């Protein structure tokens, strides 16, 4: 896959990675909300993001940290927030252990209200999210939990934090869909609902349903016009495009594969055929990406390939990628490899240190 070079906000310079404590340096930055002319619109005055935050992982509450960032200072957001009722990460104030999924969605969307504020007018936002099954009544100590939960006891919420719902037991709660609808209600534009298909998903012990082998990723934007570098994938059947679309008899019949097509311009159609053979087709919304093991003390690490496409498509080279729930640091690593800057936020100090070590290894 190749991304077209249509950068609208290219920034320069590289800084060393580091940790910034929420209660320390960030509170004394004196954030300036003026200045910073971008190349996407030479007449637009954009706020300036302090250089001390760029290529850093900030330890603290996501919403509180975001409130200290200037308006429209981030090019792209790629993240996977904690899923509801799945794991206890051992951090006070963590998202995901709310008493109800309604409260969870309200809390999470409150964070994304701040994300929307700090995201540039032409920025993009990508959110990976999984679903949960309902609990109700007497469960006799059993926990149905997440659609594809880990077997490690450290990955599953404790009995004291297992919330119940009013919905029938065993019902999928449709939390990703509810989250997406609430985001739309708050002014976001949902451009795509992407399916992350896991070809190597772990078998499920359930015998009364099918094994769930996917999660969703939502692609949000703030307005009708935004940065997007088209991405491509290989043609499934390139042989169908080996022969010209226009028949030798003339313009009355034009062939695509074995089907006859009318009402097309023969010149542009032929150019499109050659272009598709050269670069492939527009990328589809089902992404087959295998999960990858991680030896560190973190149970929700998504594979780097999952965030490569969003960063290539939604962030110009040299732009800044924000992950408000950065966890083990995968988003930061991929952003740096692809020539983008990053800002990460993580509540758990242990995960901040873990992400820092990963970044050092990939330097």
Co-location of 145 and 272 in the same domain: no
Residue 259: its H or E element: strand 259-261
* Full residue range of the structural domain in which residue 337 is found: 19-231+284-361
CATH code at position 122:
3.40.50.150
Co-location of 140 and 176 in the same domain: yes
Tokens of 212: 């769930």
Domain count, the chain: 2
DSSP 4-17: ----SS--------
Q: Return the minimum-mean-pLDDT range out of 106-110, 209-213, 270-274, 307-311.
A: 270-274
Co-location of 191 and 301 in the same domain: yes
Give the pLDDT confidence score for residue 148 in this predicted structure. 37
Tokens of 203: 């078998």
pLDDT at 297 over 90: no
DSSP 291-357: -----SS-S----HHHHHHHHHHHS-TT-EEEETT-TTSHHHHHHHHTT-EEEEEES-HHHHHHHHH
In this structure, is residue 13 part of a structural domain? no
Distance CA 298, CA 84 (A): 16
Out of 282, 306, 322, a domain closes at 282
Tell me the pLDDT of the chain averaged across its residues.
79
Closest to 310 (Cα-Cα) out of 279, 268, 342, 356: 342
Co-location of 267 and 318 in the same domain: no
- Chain CA centroid to CA 166, Å: 30
Report whether 68 contacts 56 (CB < 8 A).
no
Distance CA 273, CA 257 (A): 11
Give the pLDDT confidence score for residue 66 in this predicted structure. 98
Q: Is 183 helix (H, G, I), strand (E, B) or coil?
A: helix
The secondary structure of residue 252, as a DSSP letter, is S
Co-location of 131 and 259 in the same domain: no
Co-location of 220 and 118 in the same domain: yes
In this structure, is residue 241 part of a structural domain? yes
Report whether 148 contacts 130 (CB < 8 A).
yes
In this structure, is residue 5 part of a structural domain? no
Give the pLDDT confidence score for residue 47 in this predicted structure. 60
In this structure, is residue 43 part of a structural domain? yes
Give the pLDDT confidence score for residue 362 in this predicted structure. 85
In this structure, is residue 47 part of a structural domain? yes
Report whether 110 contacts 156 (CB < 8 A).
no
pLDDT tens digits, one per residue of 123-178? 999 999 999 888 754 443 333 444 333 333 344 444 444 566 788 989 999 999 99
Co-location of 255 and 301 in the same domain: no
Out of 282, 297, 322, a domain closes at 282
Co-location of 92 and 179 in the same domain: yes
Give the pLDDT confidence score for residue 3 in this predicted structure. 42
Report whether 58 contacts 345 (CB < 8 A).
yes
In this structure, is residue 136 part of a structural domain? yes
Report whether 218 contacts 191 (CB < 8 A).
no
Co-location of 267 and 294 in the same domain: no
Alpha-carbon torsion 223, 224, 228, 234, what sign?
A: positive
Closest to 332 (Cα-Cα) out of 28, 19, 39: 19
What percent of the chain shows pLDDT beyond 70? 71
Give the pLDDT confidence score for residue 136 in this predicted structure. 56
Considering the entire predicted model, what is its pTM?
A: 0.78
Arithmetic mean of pLDDT, 45-67? 90
Co-location of 330 and 195 in the same domain: yes
Out of 244, 262, 282, a domain closes at 282
Give the pLDDT confidence score for residue 328 in this predicted structure. 92
Distance CA 260, CA 272 (A): 16
pLDDT at 10 over 90: no
Distance CA 196, CA 216 (A): 6
Co-location of 339 and 242 in the same domain: no
Arithmetic mean of pLDDT, 228-244? 85
In this structure, is residue 245 part of a structural domain? yes
In this structure, is residue 10 part of a structural domain? no
Dihedral Cα 199, 97, 56, 113, nearest 10 deg: 100
Q: Going by DSSP bridges, is the β-strand pair 232-233/214-221 parallel, antiparallel, or unpaired?
A: unpaired
Distance CA 305, CA 299 (A): 17
Q: Going by DSSP bridges, is the β-strand pair 19-21/119-129 parallel, antiparallel, or unpaired?
A: unpaired
Co-location of 211 and 76 in the same domain: yes
């Amino acid at each position: 896959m190749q991304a077209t070079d249509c950068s609208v906000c290219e920034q320069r310079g590289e800084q060393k990675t580091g940790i910034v404590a929420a209660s320390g340096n960030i509170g004394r930055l004196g954030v300036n909300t003026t200045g910073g002319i971008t190349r996407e619109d030479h007449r637009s005055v954009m706020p300036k993001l302090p250089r001390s935050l760029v290529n850093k992982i900030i330890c603290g509450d996501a919403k509180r940290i975001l409130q200290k960032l200037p308006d429209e200072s981030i090019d792209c957001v790629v993240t996977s927030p904690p899923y509801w009722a799945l794991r206890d990460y051992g951090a006070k104030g963590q998202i995901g252990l709310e008493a109800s999924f309604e409260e969870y969605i309200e809390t999470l969307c409150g964070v994304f209200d701040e994300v929307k504020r700090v995201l540039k007018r032409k920025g993009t936002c990508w959110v990976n999210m999984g679903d949960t099954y309902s609990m109700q009544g007497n469960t006799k100590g059993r926990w149905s939990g997440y659609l594809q939960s880990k077997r490690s006891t450290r990955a599953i919420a404790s009995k004291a934090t297992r919330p119940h719902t009013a919905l029938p037991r065993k019902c999928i709660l449709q939390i990703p869909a509810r989250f997406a609808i609430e985001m739309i209600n708050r002014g976001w534009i949902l451009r795509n609902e992407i399916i992350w298909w896991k070809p190597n998903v772990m078998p499920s012990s359930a015998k009364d349903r099918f094994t769930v082998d996917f999660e969703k990723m939502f692609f949000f934007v703030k307005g009708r016009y935004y940065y997007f570098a088209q991405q491509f994938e290989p043609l499934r059947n390139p042989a169908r495009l080996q022969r010209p679309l226009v028949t030798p008899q003339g313009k009355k019949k034009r062939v695509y594969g074995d089907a006859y097509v009318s009402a097309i311009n023969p010149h542009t159609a032929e150019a499109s055929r050659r272009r598709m053979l050269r670069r492939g087709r527009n990328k589809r919304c089902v992404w087959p990406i295998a999960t990858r093991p991680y030896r560190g003390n973190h149970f929700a690490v998504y594979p780097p390939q999952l965030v490569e496409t969003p960063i290539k498509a939604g962030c110009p080279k040299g732009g800044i990628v924000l992950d408000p729930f950065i966890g083990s640091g995968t988003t930061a690593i991929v952003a740096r490899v692809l020539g983008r800057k990053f800002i990460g936020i993580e509540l758990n100090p242990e995960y901040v240190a873990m992400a820092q070590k990963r970044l050092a290894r990939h330097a």
